[in-house]
Structure 1
């Protein structure tokens, strides 16, 4: 549980402010995160001003934080924040200023107003990314869902996941540290994260979806699909799923199993589906585990990362046809939305998440991203309402987090 600390100890907000001030003042890249169901805040800092890129052989990488957009890069690489400095802190542990690592103390004299200005001046995307065209139009999204349904009825697709954006001005007194603290408190089952790569991207989010995870000899991935608002005193017990949502989740499961079959991996555990909560939303989830030692797949993390991204939960099925459909009709560049992010080889663990429930900061504006899984039974208006719910998860913390 996140609590403000007693006299002479720093509050969570004060710790985050110190970290953020130092990160922005350095001119380099940095990332802050807390894994699902964890009480430990982790951060890495790389003072190099030139962004680093790496190949996707996870097992060979140094400790760091990987950031990959939805679309594959021409060089088949991902952005990488190297863990030149690493620190972690249990959020309920009392801490004083002198307990912070030395490299976080460089920005002590930056005034709060100067810090806010630095946040609002953030230039998220390099010039290589085109501006969004139709991402914010409700009319365009409704038409896109209708085209998606038609393509499914015509037998071209089984499922497709169109996305949209929603932008607004950063509130005048917006406090990034408070926004992150509130997100940590409200999303205990999500991967709460913030990362900044100069001239490339500045994003925050609370993703509910693991793409791949390795710890020791164990590999883990999940199938996550279906969305509804959490309602009532015990939403996990009272949730009712439609046939459309059950089939949507089953398609994602089938895709994971197909990936195992492609690499002739037959020994795996599958559990689910079960209803899980992420913030104020409910989803259907199945879990998949593999012992990499007994199956003789020591590089299963990298192999499955290549096979799974982009998952059918953020793209559709068949994957190539769904991807081509979105590229032709979606009307905007997803950038890092529905890409993947996460710590690599930190304390012998790698945890890569699909970049969902996310927002980017650019030139004084915030852009929210959300998608909806479309099947033959989809209702275009309800899919729009689902994206509104998903945008609200992050948007409300930015709009209400003021100094």
Structure 2
């Protein structure tokens, strides 16, 4: 970028500078923008080896948490400590003076890299963190068969709902510009949690999640149930949306699951609003919102408690949870890794916001692996479920393949 004399930087330049510093540090980092926010935030931990923490989030120092879909033996999550933290408003130019001292010092000692050089740096970093997916998970026949197996298990009353997933691998084009891609995602999906994180030797992911898993700020706890999918059509898609019984029931299952978690811990006082139609990218979903005052109900650690109870939610796994999880382990045929796990900032600026890792892609070598799933109930049509996953893959895929999409 060309800022030789001026001290003001555009948002693209600032993001490129931060990506350059983070990628060349050899450490772990995360960049994100919360839904309905103009603030871009970054945490950087220059320690070469990523480390894991227990899920007692109230006790964690500020940082960014990343947990895979499958429950590992150690029940722990990766954690990027906010050794270095910076935030900036996306709609305001930033003067060099406004950068944190650590960024100024490093920038003085480094030549500014071009977007192509940052891409090179990124690709070199991801060579050692290749995500293992099987070729099966790419195939349409395998996925539609998976849906049929799910329907059969539901008809036999073994499951109420199951959420099989698949992958799609695309190449990262030579003109791929990471900062432009992130900014385009932020611009296109104002209601999503836009994120990029890099854990050396573990994984490098980019995403635009529509689903909050848990949020705590002050005394307030918040969660949502999100399910049902259709394409947004027309000038006012929120008004013209019509939902089938299958989609309404699918979303109601998720809401009932959240309420059953409250009952499990004898929490009786909560607010529930919805379901209402919401827009996420070019897709519509049904959403209900749940709010609780942790002080009044006597649950100061509700964030950690609900994280343990909710993950993996019925929206990414199925119902009953144990049986759906076992079904997926048996038939799905690939490791989801961080897809449909959870991620987000913890104890930063007085709040914790953790999201389900949806509409996401892992970057490795010169490729991006896109992940998508579809909720299967007794009324599902395998062909339609495949089409739904195609639409979900496009949400991130089109911005990777064409940064100016």
Please give the TM-score of this superposition, normalised by the length of structure 1.
0.95
Q: Any idea what the Cα deviations from partners look like across 1:309-353, whole Å, max 9, x if unmatched? A: 000000000000000000000011000000000000001100000
Alignment partner of 1:198 is 2:197: no
Which residue in 1 is equivalent to 2:15? Answer: 16
**Aligned counterpart for 2:126 among listed residues 111, 123, 127:** 123
Partner of 2:117: 114
1:382 paired to 2:400: no
Cα pair 1:10 1:96 within 8 Å, conserved: yes
SS of equivalent residue, structure 2 residue 144: helix
Q: Any runs of at least 4 consecutive aligned residues in structure 1 with deviations exceeding 3 A, and if so which?
A: 124-127
**What residue in structure 1 maps to residue 235 of structure 2?**
233
Match of 2:358, SS state, is coil
| Alignment partner, residue 3 of structure 1 | none
Structure 2: which 5+ runs fail to align? 1-5
Give the 3-state SS of the residue equivalent to 1:36 in structure 2. coil
Structure 1 residue ranges without an equivalent (≥5): 1-6
**Partner SS, residue 293 of structure 1:** helix
- Displacement after TM superposition at 1:99 (Å): 2.2
Q: Quick one: which of 313, 337, 340 aligns to 2:339?
A: 337
Q: 163, 166, 176: which one pairs with 1:164?
A: 166
Alpha-carbon distance between aligned partners in 1 of 2:200 and 2:404, rounded to the nearest angstrom: 24
RMSD: 1.5
Match in the other structure for 2:80: 81
CA contact (8 A) 1:22 1:103 kept: no
Q: Distance in 2 between matches of 1:173 and 1:339?
A: 30
Over residues 348-383 of structure 1, what are the superposed CA-to-partner deviations in whole Å (9 max), with x where a residue is unaligned?
Answer: 100000000001101111000000000000000000
User: How far apart are 1:125 and its partner, in Å?
Assistant: 7.1
Please list the CA deviations of residues 258-309 of structure 1 after superposition, one character each: whole Å capped at 9, or x if unmatched. 0000000000010000000111111000000111001000000000000000
Residue 119 of structure 1: CA displacement? 1.4
Deviations 1:31-81 (A, max 9, x none): 111111111111111111110110000000000000000011221110000
Tell me the secondary structure at the aligned position of residue 380 of structure 2: coil
Give the distance between the partners of 1:382 and 1:8, measured in 2 at CA.
52
**SS at 2:284's partner residue?**
strand
Matching residue of 1:35: 34
TM-score of the superposed pair, with normalisation by structure 2: 0.95
Aligned to 1:290: 292
Asked if 1 retains the 8 angstrom alpha-carbon contact of 2:129 and 2:204, the reply is no
Identify the residue that residue 72 of structure 1 maps to in structure 2.
71
User: Secondary structure, in 3 states, of the residue corresponding to 2:8?
Assistant: coil
Aligned with 1:308 (options 310, 324, 344): 310
* Deviation of 1:110 (Å): 4.7
Shift of 1:116: 1.6
Counterparts in 2 of 1:70 and 1:124: CA distance versus 1, 3 Å: farther
